[in-house]
Amino acid sequence: MSDNSFGRLFRFTTWGESHGPAIGCVVDGVPPRMPLAEADIQGFMDKRKPGQSRFTTQRREPDIVRILSGVFEGMTTGTPIALMVENMDQRSKDYSDIADRFRPGHADYTYQAKYGIRDYRGGGRSSARETAMRVAAGAVARKILDHVLGAPVTIRGALVRIGPHEIDRSRWDWGIVGDNPFWCPDAEAAKAWEGYLDGVRKAGSSAGAVIEIHASGVPAGLGEPVYGKLDADLATAMMSINAVKGVEIGSGFAAAAMPGEEAHDAMRMKDGKVAFETNHAGGILGGISSGQDIVLRFAVKPTSSIPIPRPGVTAGGEEVEIRTTGRHDPCVGIRAVPVGEAMMAIVLADHLLRHRAQVGL
Amino acid sequence: MSDNSFGRLFRFTTWGESHGPAIGCVVDGVPPRMPLAEADIQGFMDKRKPGQSRFTTQRREPDIVRILSGVFEGMTTGTPIALMVENMDQRSKDYSDIADRFRPGHADYTYQAKYGIRDYRGGGRSSARETAMRVAAGAVARKILDHVLGAPVTIRGALVRIGPHEIDRSRWDWGIVGDNPFWCPDAEAAKAWEGYLDGVRKAGSSAGAVIEIHASGVPAGLGEPVYGKLDADLATAMMSINAVKGVEIGSGFAAAAMPGEEAHDAMRMKDGKVAFETNHAGGILGGISSGQDIVLRFAVKPTSSIPIPRPGVTAGGEEVEIRTTGRHDPCVGIRAVPVGEAMMAIVLADHLLRHRAQVGL
Amino acid sequence: MSDNSFGRLFRFTTWGESHGPAIGCVVDGVPPRMPLAEADIQGFMDKRKPGQSRFTTQRREPDIVRILSGVFEGMTTGTPIALMVENMDQRSKDYSDIADRFRPGHADYTYQAKYGIRDYRGGGRSSARETAMRVAAGAVARKILDHVLGAPVTIRGALVRIGPHEIDRSRWDWGIVGDNPFWCPDAEAAKAWEGYLDGVRKAGSSAGAVIEIHASGVPAGLGEPVYGKLDADLATAMMSINAVKGVEIGSGFAAAAMPGEEAHDAMRMKDGKVAFETNHAGGILGGISSGQDIVLRFAVKPTSSIPIPRPGVTAGGEEVEIRTTGRHDPCVGIRAVPVGEAMMAIVLADHLLRHRAQVGL
Amino acid sequence: MSDNSFGRLFRFTTWGESHGPAIGCVVDGVPPRMPLAEADIQGFMDKRKPGQSRFTTQRREPDIVRILSGVFEGMTTGTPIALMVENMDQRSKDYSDIADRFRPGHADYTYQAKYGIRDYRGGGRSSARETAMRVAAGAVARKILDHVLGAPVTIRGALVRIGPHEIDRSRWDWGIVGDNPFWCPDAEAAKAWEGYLDGVRKAGSSAGAVIEIHASGVPAGLGEPVYGKLDADLATAMMSINAVKGVEIGSGFAAAAMPGEEAHDAMRMKDGKVAFETNHAGGILGGISSGQDIVLRFAVKPTSSIPIPRPGVTAGGEEVEIRTTGRHDPCVGIRAVPVGEAMMAIVLADHLLRHRAQVGL
């Protein structure tokens, strides 16, 4: 089988290749009578689109999204919403030299091993260009959360590490995240990262990153035992993003080093409601949201396409040194921030509908 | 909806509570004409069952598995295989005092918030007792891998960290993993851990752990773009295990700190085949297996049930100190090793059938 | 893949063979805090169980159902409900002579062609014994309908044809359906059928039947465009019952012969609500319920196992005459009535939860 | 939830409304390295497209299909295939008068009851225009059958009844099916039907139809017990087509009237293979194909949109007489023939991949 769909009740299917005529998705399961316009989606597309600073790829894609179905007179109808973005700046000749080469760190070799064929232009289906449609679907998911809950859910992401350089969490300021080219919540770190990443870029290298996503306003009770746990679904959502190699919830790997009496968030009462003193759990207990903020992090490996020559092989079995000089992000992790936010919104919207199905609201 | 099933083509559904009459699962999609007996499963059950050392719970469960359907004259028939284990050592009175209390770190509060009701005896459905059936299903999955591939796939797990104490990887020896109570591949670490965990236990605390799972013999080509990526499915598989807070593939979070020219495994030719010089990718590129060993790690938080008093609340909104003095594992991570192995086998068997469906073998 | 599960949000999975130790099912997605006891299910099991008249098989199965999970102190908890029935009256030696024979009209040949192996005892997995678990799951589904809607949904079935003999619809009386061995709503027909079916039985032949199922109290709005239409899901539900060869909704095949101005139910207002003057649509328009009664019929072929010798073949390719003299229903359609009711309840409960998920109630 | 996808392993998702900018589908799970061009699909689109005779709607849609992804240099790549058809001849003003009216026999009322909103232009999502994308997906499915089996599967449909007028089966000639405007296999009936349908049209009425679909060359062994039976999946496939009210396999409802010794197809040996003497089973036993031709029929109700005034109601609760004078098929059953063929191909392709997954080929 092949699996280009995500979600159970809020469910979207993406299609398209990096250098095909267009990319798109079909979003199914959207509640009816919800206001939706292309402008609701475009703002999120713009956050992810390439070419916004010298730290992201210079490919010029306006990424203008069109709604082709499922919306009538400005309102969702409950039928599938088709979204499409035309590819404008495919330079397929840039890639012709890799038709018979397997680049290290890329999916070239594994796609060929699996299918015996691949669209090698710009990585074809394995390109991170696919994530544009996740962002589009995520914009719809955000609308669902607010519409069904009748109260806002706030989903925000930030880069907390680039290469080996972490932020200082004591300086965390959501207010400045949009003011630097890294979605960095620590102004000093952001300044330092500019120099660091310029150096990486000039050296022909690339850098990885760690992204943190928060969701506030999520009610307690979302998540399904035992194979549709909220954290398990978030893990697959994030790990399915290109170049992601790790996911952790709350204190994550660090929680494994804590003694039991510290790792478990103490529960107290506040204003007649259960309140937790810490949030090592990342807002999820037993796979179900607790009402605290949902907090997760994921690790993005450095961009695979770099000018420094790297040992690769050809389809014919020859050893070659491969340099990649096309338009690439020196740190793909930066543009993964809006994608991670989108996947968070998608998982939450799906689970909100799943919860409403079984239990009601 | 509720979601107690896992897998697409190799698919199992589990049922049962910690203190109900029995637990069980239904395994669907198993290829026919494959030899299968209860003894093939029991060995794996025995690896996970409680009470095997002073470092795991003293609950006495023989965990004898019965095959109730789907096998005829020693061979699978292609119809669903029902497996059942009777619960023998439920001491429900141990738990009556928590009927109206929400223990910190447990799913008590979130189950109640979701469903408005819960079987509180031993954690009910949220108990790690459910993982016994994952191990049973995993035993069937291992048979499928070998049967369909006609060559062995070796799946092995080990504890690489307990609390803050990591192994020394230079001493890694798979041969000794079964010789110590921790599934530890480093003999010296295992010795040191005994003292450490005795101290934890006597202090009334608990410890977390990091487990590493390897799969060798997996052919290149398993995994589905873009939402059924092999690593994304492994992430959800591991994150769905009780108390898991993080998952990483290959070099994982560490990969995000490497420069691009190191993070991507160099490709060379060896004996006419593609060979990788390192395995930072953990055997997966673009969501598809590369033929290298699949390698992942997951982090287990410390056991939530501890004798040290911890701040909790009651269903009535009273603040209370909760001590748990029943039978519990001081480090639930230990028994998560065979569970992680089982989930690896399950994901691989599912993807092998998925690949056969679309591409053939 | 294999597919022993039915439903999306209300979802059950069955397992077991005719002559194995037991049969069972796991019912997932049940709303929590709903009263449920074995007695709620047993009454429906009793309607279907064998040996209740001379017109059904003489196999003695008390079909006592046990709840093994998912219910705590008399209430559903939202976790999976495992149900099991032990097989008591397997006479496996009755079937040993068919181990290497393919009986005409049975699944012997096709199971062997598919799997290369089959449990031939009593038809193994292809036996109508599996339908006992549909009835059990259907009993849970009925509870969900009433519980979630807060108003009763009445689901009733009747035999409207046996062999070539139809009822007279002008004599339809639901009140007498339980008073004759056929679930026949026409007292005169029921009397005539006794003689007819005695003749069939004595001749060593068998008879088919047409069953009609009605559901009253179903709100308008259930059903999903365009591949989860309510009628499409009912069609697969009924066609999946053993020996069913046709399904029709409302006027069904007869609707195709009507002129357009008759076939479409006129709409009028009554007490401020939309009212239909006829029900050729069977309560479904565009795949969505209209608030009218849901009405469908399905055709059951004559029992395949008959004493009259019939031409079959052996596994070795020999032509043989096959007489079946074991315990069999002369008309399997009779016991299909409670099964059809159960499948109706299951589809409606699933769609009620699906509707609540997307639209709310 | 909403459900605009069909199939498990060969799976397609459709989107679009009758009067939106376009309609389309995404086809997932297609085997790689299979030649595929738009021309392979267009021929089937042309069979279904409107305006080909005076007996179908006069809406002018060229229905030119475009492949937007999943095909590279003329070959499938294993990634999702997006297909799109632009709507060219929407005359939305034709429909403005029905914005607040519920037409009898249409989905107007039920969509409104479900969603509280609907795109009323041309029936919106409930329009049979959606079936164009089934035909497109069906063309891909046919290629898969031949490609994977390495031998042709022939799928053909015919109209066997129009209104009350059946064909004479003794005159069945597949060769003439394409030579008359009805896909009728009986030349004399086709001639008679012209006069009949002209009369219906002139009277402002409409006619129903019964369609029969045959598939030859299907190997024994396709179909999954017990909820993915081949006949159960065919039933839902056909019943999901607009205006279908009944489905039967093989002798269908007539089988229920036969004595047991006639209803079950005698098995003999021929050229060393199992051969059946009749095909009352329609090529399916126990839900699994037997190697005989798969034969089914489905009933299509008369077109709902007719000039004869019919009693309907308004959204405001007023009783009105509704005449429909737009462009409509006097018998929608005619254009259902290529749709039924497509759905047959889709179900078979899906089951072929499902069988390969579990059992291999």
pLDDT digits (tens, 9 = 90+) for A201-251: 999 999 999 999 999 999 999 999 999 999 999 999 999 999 999 999 999
Q: What are chain D's partners, defined as 3 or more CB pairs within 8 angstroms?
A: A, B, C
Q: Is C321 in CB contact (< 8 Å) with chain D?
A: no
Q: What pLDDT is recorded for position A94?
A: 61
Interface subset of D 144-183, CB within 8 angstroms of B? 148
D61 pLDDT exceeds 90? no
Confidence of residue D254 (pLDDT cuts 50, 70, 90): very high
D31 at interface of B, judged by CB pairs closer than 8 A: yes
Which token pair is D303?
A: 């077109």
State how far residue A358 is from chain C, nearest Cα, in angstroms: 5
Taking 70 as the threshold, does the pLDDT of residue A59 lie above it?
A: yes
pLDDT attached to residue C325 = 80
Report how far residue A73's alpha carbon sits from residue A80's, in angstroms, rounded to the nearest whole number: 15
- pLDDT the model gives residue A91: 66
User: Is the pLDDT reported for residue A80 higher than 80?
Assistant: yes
Any chain D CB within 8 A of the CB of B357? yes
Query: Would the pLDDT of D291 be above 70?
Result: yes
Mean predicted confidence (pLDDT) in B175-198: 97
The residue among B326, B197, B232, B255 whose CA lies nearest residue B8 is: B232
Could you give the residue ranges of the DSSP H alpha helices within chain C?
A: 38-48, 108-115, 131-149, 187-202, 230-239, 252-255, 260-263, 336-359
Report the relative pairing of strands C22-28 and C81-86 from DSSP bridges.
antiparallel
B228 touching C, CB under 8 A? Answer: no
CA C307 to chain centre: 26
- pLDDT above 90 covers a percentage of chain B that reads 89
CA distance A280 to A267: 12
Instruction: Of A235, A227, D227, give the one whose Cα is nearest residue B28.
Output: D227
Contacts of C154 (CB under 8 A, 6+ apart): C214, C215, C216, C217
As a whole number, mean pLDDT of residues D286-302 equals 98
Q: CA-CA distances (angstroms) from residue A3 to A250, B119, D27, D139?
A: 29, 36, 11, 21
C-alpha closest to that of D289 among D274, D310, D307: D274
Report cis status (omega within 30 of 0) of the bond before B226: yes
Q: Which residues of D touch C100 (CB under 8 A)?
A: none
Instruction: Specify the pLDDT at position A101.
Output: 94
User: In this structure, how many other beta carbons lie within 10 angstroms of the beta carbon of residue D325?
Assistant: 10
Asked if residues B31 and B78 have their Cβ atoms less than 8 Å apart, the reply is: yes
Task: Inform me whether the C-beta atom of residue C29 falls under 8 Å from chain B C-beta atoms.
Answer: yes
Q: Is D274 on the interface with C (CB under 8 A)?
A: yes
> What pLDDT does A312 receive?
96
Task: Measure the CA–CA gap between D15 and A243, rounded to whole angstroms.
Answer: 31
Label residue A92 by pLDDT band (50, 70, 90). Answer: low
Kindly report, residue by residue over C126-175, the tens digit of the pLDDT.
999 999 999 999 999 999 999 999 999 999 999 999 999 999 999 999 99
pLDDT bucket at C94, cuts 50 / 70 / 90: low
Whether C358 sits inside 8 A of A79 (CB atoms) is no
pLDDT at C52: 79
Beta-bridge partners for B71? B76
pLDDT band of D324, cuts 50, 70, 90: confident
**ipTM rounded to 2 decimals:** 0.97
The answer to whether the beta carbons of residues D235 and C14 sit under 8 Å apart is: no
**What average pLDDT does this structure show over C41-67?**
87
Q: Is the pLDDT of residue B94 over 70?
A: no
Residue D24 bridge partners (DSSP): D15, D84
Under an 8 A CB cutoff, do A32 and C358 touch? yes
Comparing alpha-carbon positions, the chain A residue that sits nearest to C354 is A357
Across chain C, mean pLDDT equals 95
Among chain D residues, CA nearest to C130: D226
d(CA C166, CA C188): 11
Residue C272 has pLDDT above 80, yes or no: yes
D129 by DSSP, 3-state: which? helix
**Tokens matching residue A149:** 């809950």
Short-list A111, A108, A113, CA closest to A98: A108
| Chain centroid, CA B220 distance in Å | 24
B319 part of contact set with chain A, CB < 8 Å: yes
Query: B228-237, C71-80, C327-336: which range is least confident on average?
Result: C327-336
Torsions phi, psi of A326, nearest 5?
-70, -165
Give contacts of A 107-126 with B, CB under 8 A: 107, 109-111, 113-116, 125-126
Per-residue pLDDT band at D94 (split at 50, 70, 90): low
Tell me how far apart the alpha carbons of residues A126 and D97 are, in angstroms, rounded to a whole number: 48
Model confidence over B66-92: pLDDT tens digits?
Answer: 999 999 999 999 999 999 999 987 765
Does the CB of C286 have a partner CB in chain A at under 8 Å? no
Query: Which pLDDT belongs to residue B59?
Result: 74
Quote the pLDDT of residue C328: 75
Q: Do C78 and A29 touch (CB under 8 A)?
A: no
- Chains B, C: CB pairs < 8 Å: 149
Q: How many CB atoms lie within 10 A of CB C277?
A: 11
Say if C84 is an interface residue toward chain A (CB within 8 Å): no
d(CA A229, CA A284): 9
Question: Which residues from C are below 8 Å from A359, CB to CB?
Answer: 31-32, 78
Instruction: Pick the residue from chain C with its C-alpha nearest to A32.
Output: C359
Q: What is the pLDDT of residues A158-178, one digit of tens each?
A: 999 999 999 999 999 999 999
Q: How far apart are CA C7 and CA C12, in angstroms?
A: 7
Strands D209-216 and D294-300: antiparallel
